[in-house]
Amino acid sequence: MLLAGGVFAAGGASAAAFINSGSLTLGVNDEGHLNVSDTGLAGYPGVSVQGVSAVGLRYNVGGASYASTEPGCLCEGWGVGLVSSGASGYANVSVDGVQNLSLVSFSSTASTATSVVNVLDGSGAAVLEVTHFYHPTALTANLYQVDVSIRNLTGAAIADGDLVYRRVMDWDIEPTSFSEYVTIAGVPAALGLANGNNVRRTGDNGFDTANPLNTSGATISCPQDTNFTDCGPDDHGAVFDFEFEGLADGESRVFTTYYGAAGSEPDALAALTAVGAGLYSLGQNSNGDAGAVSDTPVTFIFAFGSDDGVLTPPPPPNPTAVPEPGSLALAALGLLGLFGARRRVK
């Protein structure tokens, strides 16, 4: 199948998926970006409160479905690149299409989706493998967890700061699509690896390309590379760029992102606290002034597992789970075997 950007994808026809955790529905494309227009797929939640048929990130409450990234421009995407070689791969339905990505696999269940792609250099060789695994988190019903893994396939070590990643979204929050308040929080005062964190660039330009090697135009009406609260109302969104530590050949950099929504701003902030997401954007409609924005019917969320701007790996699937008796027995047998082996060595 020929993808936008002229890159062939392995594995046949487009799969895509609508995945649902109850209050949240996401439309995930094969390459891991949001905004799916194929209403014939299983799990389609119907049109939104303003009659939008595409699905990016929906909040389902009281029999209604509120859209956030899908009204107007289908502008949501991600990209990864190597600064030194200029190789990059990225995907965004309306802004970029799919560029320099070869689909390895896409699979889904009713509540999960896993995309694996290779990023190709100018010769068509795979230089990076990128996995996005969408799944509900056991810690809150208001967030979908996305485990992201970037593996070095270059055949050589990647230097500090050479590997970069971007996620970008145009917030179009119903019922006042194209006129929303946006918040970005958790951005360190000084950015980059030289200052002990992974944040490279932030802003409110949700129409930005998903190509992380293009660093112009991060803002529309809000400050770049800093925190702001309830900026707007305007037709804008959020863009986050990151740079990473060096990677040996075959090694992976793993981190976590989140997409979600809640019925109020306090509930959204509580969900972020539950998963320890210290870097985030909120998108809220403009029914009311900036002082009353927390009272709007829905607050949409994009966030990173981050501690002071350092992207953190995914938490355990269920960190509070108690081992089953059979698991405890197996663990005990393993310890006994280890004890016996140590005695034999002595």
What is the domain partition of the chain in residue ranges? 2-311
Residue 205 exposure: Cα atoms within 13 Å on the Cβ side: 20
CATH of domain 2-311: 2.70.98
Average pLDDT over residues 258-285: 96
Q: What confidence category does residue 297 fall into, taking pLDDT thresholds of 50, 70 and 90?
A: confident
Instruction: Say what the pLDDT of residue 288 is.
Output: 53
Does residue 242 carry a pLDDT above 60? Answer: yes
Phi/psi of residue 53, nearest 5 degrees: -95, -35
Would you report the helix, strand and coil content of the chain in percent, each value rounded to 5?
10, 40, 50
pLDDT of residue 42 exceeding 80: yes
User: Is residue 340 over pLDDT 90?
Assistant: no
Structure-block tokens of residue 156: 């050589």
- Residue 14's pLDDT band (cuts 50, 70, 90): low
Is the pLDDT score of 334 beyond 80?
Answer: no
3-state secondary structure 58-72: EEEECCEEEECCCCC
- The C-alpha atoms of residue 142 and residue 300 are separated, in whole angstroms, by 9
Question: Over the stretch 57-103, which tens digit does the pLDDT of each residue have?
Answer: 999 998 999 999 999 999 999 999 999 999 999 999 999 999 999 99
Average pLDDT (335-345) is 39
**Residue 160 CB contacts under 8 Å (≥ 6 apart), including other chains:** 193, 244, 245, 246
pLDDT tens, residue by residue, 134-186: 999 999 999 999 999 999 999 999 999 999 999 999 999 998 999 999 999 99
Which residues 6+ apart lie within 8 Å of 320 measured at CB? 138
- Lowest-pLDDT choice from 53-62, 285-294, 321-330: 321-330
